[in-house]
Structure formats: structure tokens, C-alpha cells
Amino acid sequence: MPRRAVILSCLLLFSLVPFPRAGAGSTTAQGEGQVYTNRDLKQYRNPSDARQEKRSAKAGDKKEDAAKAKERQEQEYWCKRAQFHRKKIEKAQREMEKAEAKRAALQEDAAGAAGQKKKTLEKNIKNTERRLQSARKELAERERDLGGIEEEARRKGVPPGWLRCQFDW
């Protein structure tokens, strides 16, 4: 029985004790201070708080700017590297086209020629064929070089747009 009496007395005591309520501007019966919310914090800020926020924002901006500058450098590096090889491919293609055009012109001339002139033209055609073969070989090498760069970029996680010089600056 004494146990039951202790429990009842505890319940009676707890029902009499006032508990603080949440809410803006509420006070308790015991005279405790006012309850403040986050909206009230702006009112009680110190000037040093604003300076501290500016410092942390500036530090964050510097890090962000450095990251953007580094990314821009990487983009330019991959763009220039790919452009260099594309220009070499274009040059090899032009050489090949010139050799093909010259061969076609020589073959036309050789078809209507006879004797010594025909032999000279056939010799020139063979020389042009050799130039054409070397131009084709050069073109294939340059295309392989560009493919190697594209593969390297893919392995390093470089976006394909960087190789095509497509940036969103």
C-alpha cells in the first residue's frame, strides 16, 4: 500500500508544477525570461557578426573562383590539344586531295599522249601515286593520334565537349 500512496503523491505534485510553454513572448509562472525565436536573432546581431560572415563568404568565393579557373584551364588545354591534331588532319587531307587531283590530271593527259611524252607522264603518275600513299599514311597516323587523345580524355573523365571546344562560359 505505501507504494500506491507514493505514486499518487507524485502524480499530484507533477500536476501542480507549471511547465514552460513554447511560443514567442511567453513567460512562465516562475518569472523566467522571455522565449526568443530565430526571427529575434537578427535584431540582436553585433557588427562583428556581419564582418565574420563577409570573411567566410570571401573565403568561399576565392575557393570557388580558383576551382572555376582551374576548370577553365583544363578545358582550354584539351581544346587546344584536340585542335592541334585536327589541323594536322586537315593538312594531311589537303595534301591527299592535291595528290589525287594531280594524279587525275596526269592520267587524263597520259590517255591522249603517245611516245616519250606518255612515258614521262606515267613516271609522274607513279611519283604522284607515292605522294598519295604517303599522304594517306600521314592522314591515318594523324587520325590515330586524335583517337588516342580522345581515348585518354575519356579515361580521365573529360567531357567530350571540351575536345570540341564547346564550353558554357
Q: What's the pLDDT tens digit per position in 109-152?
A: 888 778 888 888 888 899 999 999 999 999 999 999 999 999 99
Domain ranges of the chain: 63-157
The reply to whether the predicted model has a pTM over 0.75 is no
Cα 29 from chain centre: 61
Could you give the CA distance from residue 169 to residue 43 in angstroms, rounded to a whole number? 40
Cβ distance 85 to 140 under 8 Å? no
